[in-house]
Amino acid sequence: MTQMNMAKAINLALHEAMTKDKRVIVMGEDVGQDEGVFRITEGLHAKFGDTRVIDTPLAESGIVGTAIGMALYGLKPICEIQFAGFDYYNYHQLESHAARFRNRTRGRLSVPMVMRAPYGAGIRAIEHHSESREAIYAHTPGLKVVIPSGPRNARALLHSAIQDPDPVIYYEPKAVYRLFKEEVPDAMETLPIGQAQVARKGKDITLVSYGASLRPTLEAAELLEEEDGVHAEVIDLLTISPFDAATIVESVSKTGRCVVVHEGPRTCGIGAEIIARINENAFLYLEAPVKRVTGFDCQVPYFSKERAYLPDAERVLEGCRATLSF
Amino acid sequence: MTQMNMAKAINLALHEAMTKDKRVIVMGEDVGQDEGVFRITEGLHAKFGDTRVIDTPLAESGIVGTAIGMALYGLKPICEIQFAGFDYYNYHQLESHAARFRNRTRGRLSVPMVMRAPYGAGIRAIEHHSESREAIYAHTPGLKVVIPSGPRNARALLHSAIQDPDPVIYYEPKAVYRLFKEEVPDAMETLPIGQAQVARKGKDITLVSYGASLRPTLEAAELLEEEDGVHAEVIDLLTISPFDAATIVESVSKTGRCVVVHEGPRTCGIGAEIIARINENAFLYLEAPVKRVTGFDCQVPYFSKERAYLPDAERVLEGCRATLSF
Amino acid sequence: MPRKPIDLPFKLEYLSVLDENAELDKKLEPKLTDDELKTLYRYMLKARRADERMLNMQRQGRIGTFPQASGHEAISMGSIFCLEKEDWLVPAYRELAGMLYRGWPLETILLYWNGFEEGAKVPDGINDLPMCVPVASQLLHAAGIGMAMNIQQEKKVVLTFFGDGSSSEGDCHEALNFAAVFNAPVVFICLNNQYAISVPIAKQMKNETVAQRAIAYGMQGIRVDGNDVLAVYTATQEAIARARKGEGPTLIECLTYRFTPHTTADDPKRYRSEDESKKWHLREPLLRFAKFLKNKGIMNDEQKIAIDAEIDAEIKAAVAKAEELAKSEELMDPLRMFDYSFADMPPFLAEQRQELADHIAKHKKHKKEAGEKKAPSPAQI
Amino acid sequence: MPRKPIDLPFKLEYLSVLDENAELDKKLEPKLTDDELKTLYRYMLKARRADERMLNMQRQGRIGTFPQASGHEAISMGSIFCLEKEDWLVPAYRELAGMLYRGWPLETILLYWNGFEEGAKVPDGINDLPMCVPVASQLLHAAGIGMAMNIQQEKKVVLTFFGDGSSSEGDCHEALNFAAVFNAPVVFICLNNQYAISVPIAKQMKNETVAQRAIAYGMQGIRVDGNDVLAVYTATQEAIARARKGEGPTLIECLTYRFTPHTTADDPKRYRSEDESKKWHLREPLLRFAKFLKNKGIMNDEQKIAIDAEIDAEIKAAVAKAEELAKSEELMDPLRMFDYSFADMPPFLAEQRQELADHIAKHKKHKKEAGEKKAPSPAQI
Ligand SMILES: Cc1ncc(C[n+]2csc(CCOP(=O)(O)OP(=O)(O)O)c2C)c(N)n1
Ligand SMILES: Cc1ncc(C[n+]2csc(CCOP(=O)(O)OP(=O)(O)O)c2C)c(N)n1
Ligand SMILES: [Mg+2]
Ligand SMILES: [Mg+2]
């Protein structure tokens, strides 16, 4: 067991995966000698060299498109897109090819690759560096989307993503990179993609969240218990697509109330889909409308106001109270 | 009044808009001398010439990116993306710029442009020519999304889109282009963006749809009345973003039951958002879960099986019956 | 020091070996055996006949819209013929001749244009990607495959294709640049037929040749007569030899003309003159090459007729096979749309699959859809 | 006819007017009045001082991460100085000197880097776009503006900027190609500082110059000494003159070196040697130009000190103004995040605005956030 932060845990997983499997390649802008603008690829270039840790030209479609070619050839590329706000440049390659080769060729070819990108607001960055648009990938058939919430699950999920035979979008909540440390076991571990975790047990209301929003959600759950004596169950989705509806439905069937928390825009976001699934599978158990505490449907404001945009514990708490008093 | 199909009606709107406003420019691949692969730009090049009807190089980001420049300069570009399946190539320009200039510059600059694209399945086209991914645009702050369902509203909505001071995605259900004719008034008309229409009045169940899915939805409503004596109200969204939640909520508050029909993928689709809004605003009126009859979360199959993918009257009918008997 | 010229270490050339009258430039004649020459001819002819047959089938509603390859046979065949089995081919969609040579059964191609994913299922033992619809996007896959070959230290090459119009896409730029920077063993073949659907090359680019784009990437580039299979062959051989020696990518522009419509849905009369087309008909690649083979004494009229007959029989058999396959339980089953989304089907997709299965069982429908004939649609690719 | 060379109607040149020792090539001296020369100097200096001041402010947490422009003043100033008021500027993010000259108040720039949209609000009366973060995407806007000028038959020009790294983006290719095809009056300035964050130009492209990319588009191209304001000025004047005459776009590569970090969050020691940097420090643009002005008798030491003092006062005032604005009710109000999404606010957004308004009213919070100081963040642009 070692205490480490999420940045270090992701870095550890990369080291482990590259050591274990020669086919694993890391590529992206500044991932080599510079070790990534967030230093997530620290030590890789020194250890594995130019051939397997590739500084690419500044071209996101180029990065993802050539990674697709490498994956088709039998390698396992992990590409870093420097910020999620620039992965729109390569979305067509993911949508049109990474997500389709298996289906297109009836299983003859596949694209086992990972696209990593730091996403989300909260670090006082400039425009285009704070978006949280995982719902676009969740809406895209053929892609899996994983978002860790802490060091330990970040490392385990990255291993699962790398081992997955299909393309996985691995979004890293950059506000969490160095936010806290956690025990990470010495032995390599994985976590099944598609499985949520109950981060806190409770019986009165279900809170669903993921990524950077998990912490304010957990804080709100604490406050709720302290101040209102209400026991909130908190579910950490971990996989956004395909997400673990069963765990949510089971919890909501017990609590009858639910609040979904995420920082991405509300309309057609993950919250909407969770509501739809609860509606479809736990309709008769619901005692109040499912509440969405989310980012708003405007642009993430420039950083002087980003905290007002982000769901925080107080907004979650209010959402819970509104749901409880419905 | 003239009888015309949707292709003709859109063409008419383009002629009218270009005649009325010199700043209106049409651009895209093959829109000039060839008059568009679906002939939607028929007669424009002959009438308005090279300067205002522009055959561009084959580059979608180029088309949308230069259109943004033109709009910033004061023109009103209407760009055609040959098929919606290729607008992922230009999504970053829409997301990062068209949708943002007004906000970014606190209203000093704006991007009054329209991106037209034929979308959806049902015409036996090859891969990438059958997608229906309007939800991506609905999820993107700063964009409006309009989808007509018939000749008359197609023309009126295109005028509204062109006159709109902000960027509008105008998705054309290509399966409807030449499917039927309708009376279109001689005088130019508009329809307010953001307003749905009740396409059929009813009291027992609310069906919400748009675009090419509207017709099977209406058919199902007829069958429901004939076979089950149930009166379905059918709402034609027309604007997908920002959509008219009020009209849906009002109807569902009356009927207590709802089925949403669209051909786009289900997860995080428009149906999910509609369910979320009903959950938020008509929770106590709901007597059954809202049902989604939609495209599936796999790739649209190659055309030998596309009809099985598409929601048809029978699937809608079944969805209604499941909802009614809940 | 002030205004000093910058020397570019490049010269661009135009290469042609057989002229329009099938006169050979002896100095440039590639070393090919009679059998090899006949093989070149055979696949070019087979592609031509298949294309013609498919046009009929399309008119009869037996397959969907497709892009004709007639007139472009010298390009795909002259280049793809240079590949070894372990090399990779990343096609666009007009490389029928070369794909047939590579081992793609014609029935597979027919399934593709008749709306079956099975038509994109790469045959076992072949290192190719299937045809690609979003133009230029495949060039990045080719660059990536080439990069992977370097990473794995395997001395293979990749051959990839794109059109003059496709050269305008950002992905084309990124692919050429990545290939150059990483010294990837990729040969980029630009099939310059001077039109992108209706858009003539003069509206597509201001530069006079596509080949000069190579200079922008510090890459070798050449323009060849794309209707001359020997010129295409020669340029490709040279490029592949360089690539195998670790000297990186090459851009080969093959100048040709699309004397068919863009696809079966297109009407070229809308945007170009018959005269222009006629002029190019004279430069048609197959007749020219046949004449050369005859002049050279490799193929007499009898042999020519025999090849024709063989090919007709092969095509007939392929059509029958494709139409039989299309009616098979397996290919007609709509539920299979779910089966290849992921290696393992996630629960939510399994539920959707069941939903459709129940619906079909209830209505006993959709089963027949796959086999139905339909009127041609107005869709382009 | 076979292997015949293709002649390219292009010659590439390298241009330098003032050498490293401020020696002038008399033949090439541009016609500029003393006042104009002093103006060039003044804005270059102001940008330098502002940059230095901003670095301090960033270290103190008074603004966020920003990309330094020191050392690149000759490029933006030499080129932007050539614009008329009604021309358009489409910047990237290192054009501080030219933007100040164009009329962007320094306090606006400061607001931008302190996280206020008001910093991107183009000042009234100026035909510019604000700085652009997603690299190369702005080049298409420039091309589109140029196309619009042609459509409207207005004889204006657009000047736009991008980096060596940004040249790898597909959008850069599409923009150069559109501008060439539509003969748009656009001057593309590549600020080649030889690094894209940590990636040296040798890993970015295999071609030796960015200028040769012009050949790929049938466009005029030139490489100039980017630390020589007179060379940049001369090349831009020529390009603008051609553009105004309807002769289309030009690509100007300005060779320079980023002797600062990429942004305040970057550490160049990780990827390049001090020696390399030092060598380039000797070619620094401002000292060279000051020496030239002194040699020419246009600016003596006293005058130089006076300008320095004026500029310091201007910067002090701008900082005060920016910090005052940042504390204003208007700029601090988070509810304004909703107000410019659309010309008219749709109901669902109005509801969300109300939701936030209620929340803030209840908790009396967020109001202060805007003014708070923060530790520097590790974000790059
Ligand atoms: C990204 C993308 N945009 C648009 C299309 C529609 N389309 C198909 S082929 C074609 C023209 C291609 O021209 P060119 O590259 O010259 O190839 P050719 O068909 O002439 O061989 C177009 C616009 C497409 N398939 N992909
Ligand atoms: C599309 C996009 N991808 C990545 C980034 C992150 N990024 C910001 S600046 C930069 C390097 C730019 O290098 P260059 O074009 O040479 O300009 P310079 O900063 O050297 O002036 C990168 C990778 C971005 N802003 N936009
Ligand atoms: Mg072509
Ligand atoms: Mg640079």
Same domain, C321 and C338: no
Lateral strand order in the sheet of B258-262: B197-200, B232-236, B205-209, B258-262, B291-294
Give the closest residue to B309 by CA, choosing from D140, C352, D183: C352
Contact C112, C93 (CB under 8 A): no
Closest ligand by atom to D174 CA: 1
CA distance C360 to chain A (A): 21
Please name the residue ranges forming H helices in B34-150.
Answer: 44-52, 60-73, 91-93, 101-104, 134-138
Which pLDDT score, from 0 to 100, does residue D148 have?
Answer: 98
Interface mutation target, options B86, B139, B325, chain A, most CBs of A under 10 Å? B139
* D1: closest chain C residue by CA: C16
Interface contact A268, partner D, CB < 8 A: no
DSSP C82: T
Rounded CA gap, C335 and C217, in Å?
47
Interface contact D60, partner A, CB < 8 A: no
Query: Is A119's pLDDT higher than 90?
Result: yes
Kindly give the distance from the C-alpha atom of residue B91 to the centroid of ligand 3, in angstroms, as a whole number: 25
Q: Which domain does D340 fall in, by range?
A: 333-369
C374 confidence band (pLDDT: 50, 70, 90): low
Closest in B89, B272, B286 to A268, CB measured: B272
Rounded CA gap, B253 and C199, in Å?
53
- Ligand 1 contact via C332 beta carbon (within 6 Å): no
- Ligand 2 contact via D157 beta carbon (within 6 Å): no
End-to-end CA distance of chain C: 53
Give me the numbers of helices (H) and strands (E) for chain A, helices first please: 12, 14
**Interval C124-183: pLDDT, tens:** 999 999 999 999 999 999 999 999 999 999 999 999 999 999 999 999 999 999 999 999
- Ligand 2 contact via A126 beta carbon (within 6 Å): no
- Say how far residue A231 (Cα) sits from the centre of its chain: 26
- Ligand 2 contact via D218 beta carbon (within 6 Å): no
Peptide bond preceding D105: is omega within 30 degrees of 0, i.e. cis? no
Q: What proportion of chain C, given as a percentage, has pLDDT over 70? A: 95
Question: A with D: how many residue pairs have Cβ under 8 Å apart?
Answer: 142
Mutate-to-test residue for ligand 2 from D93, D135, D210, highest number of ligand atoms within 8 A of CB: D135
Q: How far is CA D166 from CA C215, D162, D163, in A?
A: 18, 6, 5
Ion ligand 3 — residues with CB under 5 Å?
A: C 163-165, 193, 196
Enumerate the active-site residues of D: 258, 262, 271
Same domain, D178 and D287: yes
Q: Give chain D's radius of gyration (CA, Å).
A: 22
**Which residues lie closer than 8 Å to D268 by C-beta, 6 or more apart?**
D195, D198, D258, D261, D262, D277
Tell me if C7 is assigned to some domain.
Answer: no
Which pLDDT score, from 0 to 100, does residue C368 have?
Answer: 52
Can you tell me which atom of ligand 2 is nearest the CA of D164?
Answer: 16
Query: Is C371's pLDDT higher than 50?
Result: no
Please name the residue ranges forming H helices in chain B.
Answer: 6-20, 44-52, 60-73, 91-93, 101-104, 134-138, 151-163, 214-223, 245-255, 270-281, 306-309, 313-324
The B residues from 38 to 67 touching D (CB cutoff 8 Å) are 51-52, 54, 56-57, 59, 61-62, 64-67
Same domain, D316 and D363: no
Q: What tokens were used for A127?
A: 């425009």
DSSP codes of every residue in A137-166:
HHTSTT-EEE---SHHHHHHHHHHHHH-SS
Kindly give the distance from the C-alpha atom of residue C258 to the centroid of ligand 1, in angstroms, as a whole number: 13
Which pLDDT score, from 0 to 100, does residue C5 have?
Answer: 84
| CB burial string D211-239: b at 16+ within 10 A, e below | bbbbbbbbbbbbbbbbbbbbbbbbbbbbb
**Interval B174-207: pLDDT, tens:** 999 999 999 999 999 999 999 999 999 999 999 9
CATH class of B197-324: alpha beta
Which pLDDT score, from 0 to 100, does residue D377 have?
Answer: 52
A220 confidence band (pLDDT: 50, 70, 90): very high
Rounded CA gap, B290 and B310, in Å?
19
Taking CB atoms and an 8 Å limit, are B308 and C366 in contact across chains?
Answer: yes
Ion ligand 4 — residues with CB under 5 Å?
A: D 163-165, 193, 196
Helix axes D301-326, D285-295, angle to 10 degrees: 140
Give the closest residue to C92 by CA, choosing from C139, C132, C143, C44: C132
Q: What tokens were used for D227?
A: 């630390």
Kindly give the distance from the C-alpha atom of residue B127 to the centroid of ligand 1, in angstroms, as a whole number: 13
Type and span of the H or E element at D173: helix D170-181
Phi, psi dihedral angles at B293 (to 5 degrees): -110, 105
Taking CB atoms and an 8 Å limit, are A30 and D365 in contact across chains?
Answer: no
Domain range annotation of chain B? 2-184, 197-324
Structure ipTM: 0.98
Tell me if C3 is assigned to some domain.
Answer: no
Interface contact D206, partner B, CB < 8 A: no
Name chain D contacts of B59, Cβ cutoff 8 Å.
Answer: 174, 177-178
DSSP E strands in chain C: the ranges are 4-6, 12-15, 88-90, 158-163, 186-192, 195-196, 199-200, 220-225, 250-255
Peptide bond preceding B242: is omega within 30 degrees of 0, i.e. cis? yes
Contact A146, A240 (CB under 8 A): yes
Can you tell me which atom of ligand 2 is nearest the CA of D136?
Answer: 1
β pairing state of C220-225 and C199-200:
unpaired
Which pLDDT score, from 0 to 100, does residue C133 have?
Answer: 98
Longest dimension (CA), chain C: 84
Average pLDDT over residues A180-185: 98
Helix axes C137-151, C170-181, angle to 10 degrees: 10
| CB burial string B254-289: b at 16+ within 10 A, e below | ebbbbbbbbbbbbbbbbbbbbbbbbbbbbeebbebb
Taking CB atoms and an 8 Å limit, are B298 and C381 in contact across chains?
Answer: no
Kindly give the distance from the C-alpha atom of residue C66 to the centroid of ligand 3, in angstroms, as a whole number: 15
Q: In this structure, what CATH number is given to the domain that contains residue D266?
A: 3.40.50.970
CA distance D111 to chain B (A): 12
Number of domains in chain C: 2
Beta-bridge partner residues of A24: A76
What is the residue-averaged pLDDT of chain C? 94
CA distance B302 to chain C (A): 5
Helix axes D73-80, D34-59, angle to 10 degrees: 140
C222 confidence band (pLDDT: 50, 70, 90): very high
Taking CB atoms and an 8 Å limit, are B72 and D151 in contact across chains?
Answer: no
Rounded CA gap, C202 and C222, in Å?
19
Closest in B58, B267, B298 to C337, CB measured: B298
Catalytic, A45? Answer: no
Name chain D contacts of B239, Cβ cutoff 8 Å.
Answer: none
- Residue position matching structure tokens 């002939």: B39
Q: How far is CA A170 from CA A85, A143, A148, A266, D49, in A?
A: 14, 11, 8, 21, 42
Same domain, C33 and C138: yes
CA distance B152 to chain C (A): 22
Interface contact A68, partner C, CB < 8 A: yes
Tell me if C102 is assigned to some domain.
Answer: yes
Which pLDDT score, from 0 to 100, does residue A1 have?
Answer: 86
Give the closest residue to A264 by CA, choosing from A310, A218, A214: A310
Average pLDDT over residues A270-283: 98
- Ligand 2 contact via A82 beta carbon (within 6 Å): yes
Average pLDDT over residues B62-70: 98
Rounded CA gap, D222 and D11, in Å?
9
Q: What tokens were used for B174?
A: 């290509």
Name chain D contacts of C169, Cβ cutoff 8 Å.
Answer: 170, 174
Query: Could you say which residues of chain D have pLDDT below 50?
Result: 1, 367, 370-371, 373, 375-376, 379-381
Average pLDDT over residues C56-83: 97
Longest dimension (CA), chain D: 84
- CA B178-B184-B187 angle, to 5 degrees, is 140
Rounded CA gap, D361 and A318, in Å?
13
Same domain, C146 and C74: yes
Q: How far is CA B233 from CA B176, B202, B226, B258, C378, in A?
A: 22, 4, 14, 9, 34
C2 confidence band (pLDDT: 50, 70, 90): low
CA distance B47 to chain A (A): 35
Tell me if C376 is assigned to some domain.
Answer: no
Same domain, C226 and C356: no
Closest in C114, C120, C338 to B304, CB measured: C114
Q: Which CATH architecture has domain A2-184?
A: 3-Layer(aba) Sandwich (3.40)
Q: What proportion of chain B, given as a percentage, has pLDDT over 70? A: 100
Can you tell me which atom of ligand 2 is nearest the CA of D193?
Answer: 20
- Ligand 1 contact via C196 beta carbon (within 6 Å): yes
Average pLDDT over residues C301-316: 97
